[in-house]
Amino acid sequence: MSARAASGGTWDADGPGVLALPSGRLIRGRALRRPLPAGGSPVPTYAVYLLGGQPPPVPWEAHWLRWPDFRLPADRAQARAVLTEAWRRAADERVEIACYGGRGRTGTALACVAVLDGVPPREAVAYVRRHYDRHAAETPWQRAYVRRFGTPG
């Protein structure tokens, strides 16, 4: 067991917003406009915040990815690197991906992480809609981004 796993492990598969990937990795999507889940739910150990402006500070490790509402990430190479890191860390950490509403940008990012986990790019949005939120990846260009995410470069 890694030091990270010993310090907290991953999410409860039945927790609010938790997406189970085919590999068994668990990753939580969340709307930042809502408070953290109540009831003593653990906090993330690593988070990726997808916002047009810098998010407020949090007491856990977090990465801000500039991603305006209803749009695509400002830096796609950085997005690929950050989402790959989130996927890697989800193996034994509580990773959260969140935007203000928790659907469009968060759903798009979760679909990209699903691609990294082996879901075919053309099926990734449907996978996330089935297992996370039926409105995930709201815009046509977000869905197209996921389809292209499977192609390096």
pLDDT at 8: 62
Predicted confidence band at 47 (pLDDT cuts at 50, 70, 90)?
very high
Residue 109's CATH number? 3.90.190.10
Q: What is the DSSP string of the chain?
A: --HHHHTT----TTSTTEEEPTTS-EEEEEETTSPPPSSSPPPPSEEEEEESSPPPP-SSEEEEEE--TTS--S-HHHHHHHHHHHHHHTTTS-EEEEESSSSHHHHHHHHHHHHHTT--HHHHHHHHHHHT-TT-S-SHHHHHHHHHHTS--
pLDDT at 4: 37
Q: Strands 18-20 and 26-31, how do they pair? A: antiparallel
3, pLDDT greater than 50:
no
* Mean pLDDT, rounded, for 8-19: 91
Segment 52-65, tens digit of pLDDT: 999 989 999 999 99
Segment 84-133, tens digit of pLDDT: 999 999 999 999 999 999 999 999 999 999 999 999 999 999 999 999 99
From the number of C-beta atoms within 10 Å of its C-beta (0-12, 13-18, 19+), residue 71 rates as: middle
5, pLDDT greater than 60:
no
* Mean pLDDT, rounded, for 6-27: 89
Predicted confidence band at 35 (pLDDT cuts at 50, 70, 90)?
confident
What's the domain range around 83?
Answer: 3-149
Domain count, the chain: 1
Segment 69-84, tens digit of pLDDT: 989 999 999 999 999 9
Contact assessment for residue 11 and residue 18, using Cβ atoms and an 8 Å cutoff? yes
